[in-house]
Amino acid sequence: MKNMRSLVALAFGAFVCGAAEFVMMGILPQTAADMGVSIPTAGNYITAYAIGVCVGTLMLVFGRTTPPKKLILIFMVIVFVGNALSAVALNSAMLIAARFIAGLPHGAFFGASAVIGKNLAEKGKATQAVAVITTGQTVSNMLGVPAGTLLAEYVSWRVSFAILAAWAVLTIVLVAAWVPFVVPIKDAGLAGQFKFLKAPGPWLILGAVLLGNGGVFCWWSYVSPWLTGVGGWSSAAVPFLMALAGFGMVLGGMAGGKVADRWRHAGAAGIGQAIGMIGLLGVFLFEGVQGSGGDGAPAAQVGTALLTLWIAFGLFFINPPQQLLMAEAGQGGGELIGGATVQVAFNLGNAIGSAVGGAALNATAMDYHYPALSGVPFTALAVILLAVFSLRYEGKRQQS
């Protein structure tokens, strides 16, 4: 693939954004203890990042005439500041503010990088180019998040953020050296950037992203206690199982990109959502050690590991086609906003899924099967929305 160095440089940025988002879930106990707050209060560190993602999209609104490469460099400077401040946070309020700053460029980065990837891709390989970039995010879940969790366990959670800050600096160097100049998108004016949202198609995609991700995160938010309580794994094994999940995400992202380039983009995303839905049903039906009195622990461990791998594969199978669908939907001046809205919907899905899964746990006396069941209707609706979009829009495109 041409321009691979440029895509790799952007993948480094995707890595630091993905790790900064998800590492807090693995280091929350240590961070809460050091900050002197409860675990529920420490959940604000996750929420602050998600809010930053949503607010930060506005940077694209006012930076629409800025070359995408320059935008990426600005975003990485902000990533550096946010993670450096997190590493030296003196109290909980400062850490919340630092997490908010770190989240600001997240969605905007993926919006701008999708535009660059599409411009640099060979004909017919745009989705695969975007998949290479988003692979950085999946690798962060395979390596970065488990490594951060281990650092928090044996050294300090602050080291995790210090390394992310250094990684942002490395990304700045690589982007400056390897990513070529790409012309800014067409300036459609302030309101013109959002014109594409007047059509129903983009809302079908965003609805699928929000619902599908929300459905998976009903279960994913509580994957650690599910692995220990249902799978019989020790807590020390969880980081390695997260690495296995990250490996599934890498495979899913690359597979999703290849399928989408050979077939319908929304159709490929629908396949990924269906994979996730089947996995959630499997989690609900899988009894594990809870149903075997502990005698079937080896089988429970294998089963929970495979289900984790399966759902992780489906979760990122959908990423490249949906990212590209929204960049395409925004053509004519809204490409940056279109790509960024995927990450906004993704993070809103995180918040909704976590809340719904928590409610399912409270309603079932902490039965870790039911968060997965509560997510099934969400993923089913996502499949339907993508099927409607594919038949309504992509079917016409193929016939013409």
Q: What is the dihedral of CA 371, 376, 382, 385, to 10 degrees?
A: -140
Do domains 1-187 and 188-399 share one topology? The answer is yes
Can you spell out the DSSP letters for 197-228? Answer: GGSHHHHHHHHHHHHHHHHHHHHHTTHHHHHH
Contact, 384 vs 269, CB < 8 A?
Answer: no
260-263 contact pairs (CB < 8 A, 24+): 260/127, 260/320, 260/321, 260/324, 261/124, 261/125, 261/126, 261/127, 261/128
Q: Where are the domains of the chain?
A: 1-187, 188-399
Q: How far apart are CA 51 and CA 214, in angstroms?
A: 16
What lies within 8 Å, CB to CB, of 136 at 6+ separation is: 10, 11, 12, 13, 14, 15, 18
pLDDT of residue 293: 42
CA 39 vs CA 24, 32, 44, 365: distances in Å: 12, 6, 9, 19
Tell me the per-residue pLDDT of 96-154, one tens digit each, with 9 for 90 and over. Answer: 999 999 999 998 898 888 889 888 887 777 777 877 887 788 788 788 888 998 898 88
Residues 6+ apart with CB under 8 A from 211: 349, 378, 379, 381, 382, 385
pLDDT for the residue numbered 292: 46
Q: What is the pTM of this model?
A: 0.78
Tens digit of pLDDT for each residue in 191-234?
677 888 888 989 999 999 999 999 998 898 788 778 888 998 88
pLDDT of residue 28: 78
CA angle 247, 248, 250 (to 5 degrees): 65
Query: Which tokens sit at 270?
Result: 């629908």
**Helix extents (H) in the chain:** 4-35, 39-56, 58-62, 68-87, 92-120, 126-139, 145-154, 157-178, 189-192, 200-220, 223-229, 238-262, 265-285, 297-317, 319-329, 335-363, 370-389, 395-399
CATH of range 188-399; options 1.20.1250.20, 2.60.40.1250, 3.40.640.10, 3.40.50.180? 1.20.1250.20
pLDDT of residue 323: 75
pLDDT of residue 294: 44
Number of residues written out for the chain:
400
Query: How open is the CA angle 330-340-2, to the nearest 5 degrees?
Result: 80
What class does CATH assign to 1-187? mainly alpha
Q: Tell me what pLDDT residue 175 has.
A: 97
Cβ proximity of 89 and 40 under 8 Å: no
The two structure tokens encoding residue 227: 């692995």
Give me the residues of the chain with pLDDT under 70, please: 1-2, 39-40, 187-191, 290-296, 332-333, 339, 395-400
* Calpha distance 117→244 (Å, rounded): 27
Q: Determine the pLDDT at residue 40.
A: 64
Say what the pLDDT of residue 152 is: 87
